[in-house]
A and B are shown apart, each in its own frame.
Chain A
């Protein structure tokens, strides 16, 4: 009998975790019989927070280069980047870079899993980086940067995260600064790739209509020759210092749009407090009954207000951003936002406010879990923030949250010394 190189770590409901003992690759497997498709989604535990000053945007740039030529397991250059063959067969495929991770996925009919894993395995250690391939890709990334740079929300968010994190790597946008993107070289990309792109720094998520034994066999076939990293993967341990006071930022630019945003430090994902923050932000601005919607949108003071909170490995930001209507004073909008935040500190949510906010939140999560790709997509964020079991436990944490928990979160985390108020003032 062939040796089984997969150590079972845990199974929670429908999700199974294994470690591939040959090289430390983690495997999450979700069997979804009858769906006829399979998603492979590899998550490298490296994102923009791992970037050094002067090299912002390098994780994202490397993500682009991962669609270039590769060598196969025998060291022979593939005739074309592997993803092209899959794309030509109709694969839905893409990649994305965020603060804590970079992920690459393929969605295809189930019989193609072997091809998908071959492509993923080859680019894990066989990427060929050449200046000839790099030059046009650098232009593409600069073009992507310009696309974002036109948006007031991006401009405001860039300034606010820079203000929020003076030490931690969360302080810059994933795309990086334009001047840094222009200075990335093939050599620096190669060094970044050789530091982080190893099986023992990755989770492979396979969801869909494929049997476990087949997944094991194909992972072994395609990833079996890859060694674990020769040196430990560098860990990024930076604790952002306390802020010591409210910070305000104002950007004035020729634009018809004016926006304002309030941001506080949020707990890290996995912490039960994260669920409290989630409910708190959704209660305040997450729907037509929310106090900020009622006082700002219903009165036409702003055209939109939205909360934002992402799962994160380290404490990140929970924020509200409003687009202010023409003729309305920014200060008046900010005063209302501050008042409603203060109200959550002094008064607990009523039973009905809590129940409906929780129900709305749970519905949003559950309704999104439709199909193998959606499951893999959601798992990606929990894997990146350090604990994939949050996929199931978050719902339990939301259920268990009390009004006192939400109030305590507002009192302890949403304090003036952690507040950043940003304004994009169009003229």
Chain B
């Protein structure tokens, strides 16, 4: 779609508007970065759920009923230390839908009865999570890589069960106060009138924000280790491989590393080496991809490979995955890889503009990560300028086969690990 946008940022409030003339649908994303730590993610998720339970002006049923009558969708979710809100509405009813959202944000209703219901829901969800080997493996992996303070940390189920007991109306009210003095990113797509209406309605709620306190140095690599959890009665073992990536999005080497990691295991389709070799040639798994998570313009994240193998294939699967990591780290990418991925990535950038929602997501996610729209737009040119030398240097420096953390969850009885096998 044709990209006509505006962008402003001031005092912790960033707004992005994408003009979509004649479009009768308005799409809006609002992300709020709370000044909390990774270990607090349960509280943020809980706050997100409670914000969807009506306000002092509209009780929960009235709130839901009005949304359904208006034919609008509003979703509020907490993840990590962020509250994410998405709104989709027809332009003709946007004013009423925004009034509902503003009320839900500004004057939420934290009744003991609702809190008790959500606590029970969470307890049940955590019980079900004990059978989710992918979530268990991922959680274990995150705890090995991140400190409790960092965004990428995922507290264990046991810790979250204890945290759940702390939540009451007073606790939530304190969390709620943070919403309006934390950094906001508001992105809207629609016609001109809708853009003005949406930005105006939400901007007045924001009271200004200091940036988050950031770590003063980049993380170091975690020593190689393997740990596996036993989840019985499963057909597959869910694996995560990876380590910290001591680079921010602003570092020149980030794009080069990301390019190299795409050659190894580009997400989606079969283009990455891992899919074409470990899946297609060796038939060891159905899906195996590599990508970077958690990096922003000012903080570092990690790289990871996610896959699964049957217990029988797991030893060979681990060996094949490690072989491919080692190969690309040591020998790097080829001229052909560079040529191929330059074209692939620049075309995929065009495809990211395929719909209004995908275009809006592209910019919104970049803004939340601390990038500007100009930096987003520069991406194809930066990809075009990348050299094989830069990519291979980044891979040699940051992809260390001797420092790969591996976690697994499932029927892992036959696997050798570094620490005692734990029961999930």
Interface residues of A (CB under 8 A from B): 34-37, 67, 84, 87-94, 107-109, 135-140, 143-144, 146-147, 149-150, 253-257, 287-289, 297-298, 300, 303, 323, 325-326, 352, 355-357, 359-360, 362-364, 366-367, 370-374, 426
Contact = CB atoms under 8 A, between A and B. Distances in A.
Nearest to B232: A254
A289 B68 contact: yes
Contact of B124 (A92, A287, A325): A325
Contact of A298 (B117, B268, B351): B117
A355 to B, nearest CB: 7
A143 B237 CA distance: 11
Give the top 4 A-B pairs by smallest Cβ distance, nearest first. Answer: A371-B355, A90-B347, A139-B283, A136-B283
B193 interface: no
Instruction: Select the residue from B131, B236, B308, B357 with max chain A CB neighbours within 10 A.
Output: B131
Nearest to B61: A289
Given A92-B268, A136-B280, A370-B356, A109 B347 contact: yes
A213 B195 CA distance: 37
A257 B232 CA distance: 13
Given A89-B343, A89-B347, A94 B283 contact: no
Contacts of A255: 131, 233
A93 B270 CA distance: 10
Nearest to B410: A150
B386 to A, nearest CB: 15
Interface string B64-81: 110011111100000000
A182 B1 CA distance: 46
A47 B280 CA distance: 24
Contact of A90 (B90, B125, B345): B345
Given A90-B348, A93-B269, A371 B120 contact: no
Contact of B279 (A93, A140, A146, A298): A140
Nearest to B271: A87
Contacts of B6: none
B147 interface: no
Interface in B259-295: 268-271, 279-286
B286 A140 contact: yes
B350 interface: yes
B75 to A, nearest CB: 12
Contact of A326 (B68, B124, B282, B347): B124
B2 interface: yes
Contacts of B95: none
B127 A147 contact: no
B353 interface: yes
B270 A87 contact: yes
B117 A300 contact: yes
A88 B270 CA distance: 9
B236 A150 contact: yes
Contact of A366 (B25, B124, B235, B310): B25
A303 B25 contact: no
A364 B67 CA distance: 12
A139 B343 CA distance: 32
A113 B246 CA distance: 41
B361 to A, nearest CB: 11
B296 interface: no
B282 A37 contact: no
B235 A149 contact: yes
B233 A254 contact: yes
Interface in B21-37: 25
A373 B354 contact: yes
